[in-house]
Amino acid sequence: MMATFLIRIISFFSLCHLALGNTETYQFHVPKDFPELSPSYVPKLPYINARNTTFRTITTHLQPEAKTFVELTGLKKNENYMVKICWTGIDPISLKSIRHQFIPHGTVFKGTLSTQTRAVILIETRADSYPILQDKVKVDVSLAVIKLGIPVDMYSILFYLACVLICAISFIRAIDPFQLLEVRKQNKSD
């Protein structure tokens, strides 16, 4: 019941894509046959390590007009993930695209070669105002497991919002403004 309610809330907010000016999200599924990385593997690109956690954020820099790659390690097989990119509105950029890519083992990717199968997120940005932004932009890249259709970092927020909503509705039921107005009408007729 509660899960359905929370899923409805998150679905509602996920529709507000345009309103989320400086945040972009992207969801992807890790296949059942995705091979695990060996514990000794050290990524050569900026990376988020999701091993032993369901949610992690890194802060990285990216060029305003470029493609940036972030490697994802510690991904679990047959799991859904949400990647979230947040940057501050004072840096006028927008995201042209986000997508994921699985790099087969033994493949050269961006000048790096690995014997492991890798997962990478591609973030493509463009400068968005005048004058054109030249400096590197600091961004937060988050990776969260999706459970019950909701990214896990949203659970505390949704729980809080549900509490606020329940309190507000209980308050309305307790004071019932309309009933009080009826009292006023009765007083008037007296």
Write out the residues near another protein by the rule CB under 8 A.
Answer: 12-13, 15-23, 57, 59, 84, 86-90, 92, 128-131, 133, 138-140, 142, 153-154, 156-157, 159-161, 164-165, 167-169, 171-172, 177-178, 180-181, 183-185, 187
* Short-list 140, 21, 25, 142, CA closest to 92: 21
CB 118 to another protein: min, Å: 25
Closer residue to another protein (CB): 70 or 103:
70
User: Residue 173: in which H helix or E strand, if any?
Assistant: helix 155-175
3-state secondary structure string, 3-62? HHHHHHHHHHHHCCCCCCCCEEEEEEECCCCCCCCCCCCCCCCCEEECCCCCEEEEEEEE
CB 64 to another protein: min, Å: 12
Closer residue to another protein (CB): 56 or 100:
56
CB 15 to another protein: min, Å: 5
Closer residue to another protein (CB): 18 or 42:
18
Distance in angstroms (rounded) separating the CA atoms of residues 72 and 48: 5
Closer residue to another protein (CB): 45 or 161:
161
